Amino acid sequence: MTDSVFKDSTLPLALVTGAGSGIGAGIAKHLAANGHKVMVTDLDINAASKVVEEIQSENGIAMPFALNVTKQEDIEAAVAAAGKVDVLVNNAGIQYVSKLEEFPVDRWKMLIDILLTGPAMLTREVLPGMKASGSGRIVNVGSIHALIASPFKSAYVAAKHGLIGFSKVIALEVAEFDITINTLCPAYVKTPLVEKQIADQAREHGISEEEVVNNIMLQPMPKKSFISIEEMCGAVDFLLSPVARNMTAQAIVLDGAWTAR
């Protein structure tokens, strides 16, 4: 598929970050299967291209784009290449598990840049187009850690908490338009990012990986199960639907009653 086919399509456009794997890839493929053309962005262009190939094999419309959400020039280039963005899914993520006193300063700042500043700057870039058309949907992929804390995740927890506050401010700033901004807050979703966390947490806590899964990840969750990507996609469907036009500035929690305790 050529770029011109993508640009000429009249389907609503969704830009998804961190879409080369995990939640982002799942949401990108789901949106493409349900009436959107999708700009699949990722730091790894090869991973993004593979997701695009999967979408195209199912007759969906998508194009890959190499995007480092910490670089303003990349953000501007992605939105310029996309054109008018109808749906922005801020999903790009990274994790680092460490005691604060051993947390590398550059890595702490990197997490904030990727998880908080990146979504803010992408939102900043797409808002003029959304305002001009009078509509838009912004979905931030947050975390249960946007609501609660866990040890050894100071940068991640700080950034995800900040994402909710940021979303509330933007919801107020665009209230006169049919633009909504919400944050999905799932408990653990079985993705490559979470798989890596299991080993890191085992090291920090001095326990086995099985104990990490059972006693740290699933123990606080009464339903004792990982959140599926299908559940995340279902939540996105609702937030994009007309009946959610007044659902904005909200944290949508998929946590199996974790935060009910």
What are the tens digits of pLDDT across the range 138-191?
Answer: 999 999 999 999 999 999 999 999 999 999 999 999 999 999 999 999 999 988
Q: Is 141 helix (H, G, I), strand (E, B) or coil?
A: strand
Q: Which residue has the higher pLDDT, 201 or 37?
A: 37
Q: In what order do the strands lie in the sheet with 87-90?
A: 61-66, 37-42, 13-16, 87-90, 135-141, 178-186, 251-254
pTM of the entire structure? Answer: 0.94
**Angle made by CA atoms 153, 154, 160, in degrees to the nearest 5:** 85
- What's the average model confidence in pLDDT over 55-83? 98
Question: 108-137 in b/e burial notation, b at 16+ Cβ within 10 A?
Answer: beebbbbbbbbbbbbbebbbebbeeeeebb
What are the tens digits of pLDDT across the range 15-48?
Answer: 999 999 999 999 999 999 999 999 999 999 999 9
φ, ψ (nearest 5 deg) of residue 86: -85, -35
Query: Is 90 exceeded by the pLDDT of residue 204?
Result: no
**Nearest in space to 62 (alpha carbons), one of 123, 16, 126:** 16
**Nearest in space to 47 (alpha carbons), one of 23, 18, 69:** 18
What is the predicted pLDDT for the residue at 199?
A: 84
pLDDT category of residue 201 using cuts at 50, 70 and 90: confident
Domains of the chain: 3-187+228-260 (3.40.50.720)
What are the tens digits of pLDDT across the range 108-140?
Answer: 999 999 999 999 999 999 999 999 999 999 999
Query: Is 90 exceeded by the pLDDT of residue 3?
Result: no
> Which are the catalytic amino acids?
156
Q: Which residue has the higher pLDDT, 196 or 61?
A: 61
